[in-house]
């Protein structure tokens, strides 16, 4: 069996409009490496958020809590780095976000036979 894990998220410039600065050239990367990741780079104005999407085929799963079908988990980390402040010309610190997701959301697989 092959499992494809789709993911979505947002990257935000948390500075306030009128007080912060635009950040350009933010690069996105995924671990494990995404089969597809879009966009690979982005620019963000103060207060702006932009979405990203991707997917990957995991090679490792973590055993779940053992309470039923679908209780196995995949972990994914997105890293945003390399953005440069439009005014300060300083490179932003690397930011990352991780998530662990079940193969099936709770209630959809638990106790139910697979189709």
- The structural domains of the chain, with segments of one domain joined by +, span 5-102
Which of 44, 55, 48, 41 lies closest to 8, judged by CA?
Answer: 55
CATH class of 5-102: mainly beta
Please tell me the predicted confidence (pLDDT) of residue 76.
83
Please tell me the predicted confidence (pLDDT) of residue 97.
85
Residue 66 carries which DSSP code? S
**For residues 58-76, average pLDDT:** 65
Give the count of alpha carbons within 13 A of 28, CB side only: 24
Please tell me the predicted confidence (pLDDT) of residue 6.
84
Contact 92, 83 (CB under 8 A): yes
Q: What is the pLDDT of residues 73-102, one digit of tens each?
A: 777 889 999 899 999 999 987 888 887 776
Q: How far is CA 108 from the centre of its chain?
A: 23
Contact 27, 44 (CB under 8 A): no
- Is residue 106 helix, strand or coil? coil
Residue 1 carries which DSSP code? -
């Amino acid at each position: 069996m092959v499992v494809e894990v789709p993911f979505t998220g947002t990257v935000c410039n948390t500075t306030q409009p009128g007080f912060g600065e635009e950040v350009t050239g933010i690069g996105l990367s995924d671990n494990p490496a995404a089969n597809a990741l879009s966009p690979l780079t982005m620019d963000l104005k103060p207060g702006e958020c932009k979405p990203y999407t991707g997917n990957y085929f995991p090679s490792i799963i973590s055993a779940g809590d053992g309470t039923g079908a679908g209780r196995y988990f995949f972990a994914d980390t997105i890293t945003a780095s390399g953005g440069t402040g439009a005014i300060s010309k300083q490179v932003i610190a690397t930011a990352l976000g991780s998530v662990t997701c079940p193969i099936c959301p709770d209630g959809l697989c638990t106790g139910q036979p697979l189709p």
